[in-house]
Amino acid sequence: MTIDAIPVSSIMTKNVKTASENQSIQTAAEIMDRNNIGTVIIGEEGGGTPSGIITERDIVKLVSSSQISFEEHLSSVMKKPVITADSMMSLKDALHTMQDKNIRRLPVVHNGKMVGILTDKDIFRAILKSPALLSNFMDLNLPADYRPVYQRFSEFMLADLQHPQSGNR
């Protein structure tokens, strides 16, 4: 089993938390807090095509700006367009996409409909569970600019050793 033979659909999180564009920043923050997650996908309920994304980092940046109200609609602050992964994309290709776009989360779509989300932590967990994948991941001849992926992986391994099963998507 290699990292380029595993589809993202096999390790993605299926229960994606969403909000609509006309909901507030406050609502997105509450969804994240209630579900212990770091991302809310903006779009149609029931898994339609994602129209935007907001992360906990985005909300922290908004907090530091006194120019915005938490009652503001998500449509005015969400990041768009959303970079997505097809459900059959390989883990290797997903890692490359995430690194190239400097993102940590990829909504997963199948036939234009959102079916899950893949985070760097999902990938790291899958790699840690399989010695063959771990070896394959470490043997990837990624260029020097992919060092941040290895750095996040190392940090994840250390955090997982200290606090097993803690997960903030």
User: CA-CA distances (angstroms) from residue 165 to 53, 147, 162?
Assistant: 25, 25, 10
Q: What is the mean pLDDT of residues 45-66?
A: 84
Query: Which of 123, 132, 108, 109 lies closest to 157, judged by CA?
Result: 123
Q: What is the pLDDT of residue 168?
A: 45
CA dihedral angle for residue 99, residue 51, residue 85, residue 45, rounded to 10 degrees: 130
Query: Which of 68, 13, 17 lies closest to 43, judged by CA?
Result: 17
pTM of the full structure: 0.78
- 167 falls in which pLDDT band (50, 70, 90)? very low
Q: What is the mean pLDDT of residues 127-149?
A: 64
Domain boundaries, given as residue ranges, for the chain: 8-162
Could you give the CA distance from residue 13 to residue 107 in angstroms, rounded to a whole number?
9
Give the right CATH number for 8-162 from 3.10.580.10, 3.40.50.1100, 3.40.190.10, 3.20.20.450. 3.10.580.10
Q: What is the DSSP string of 31-81?
A: HHHHHT-SEEEEE-TTT--EEEEEEHHHHHHHHH-TT--TTSBGGGT-B-S
Averaged confidence pLDDT in the chain? 83
Type of residue found at 58: D
Q: What is the pLDDT of residue 149?
A: 63
CA dihedral angle for residue 128, residue 87, residue 58, residue 71, rounded to 10 degrees: -130
Strand order of the β-sheet with 18-19 is 18-19, 39-43, 50-55
Q: What is the mean pLDDT of residues 125-144?
A: 67
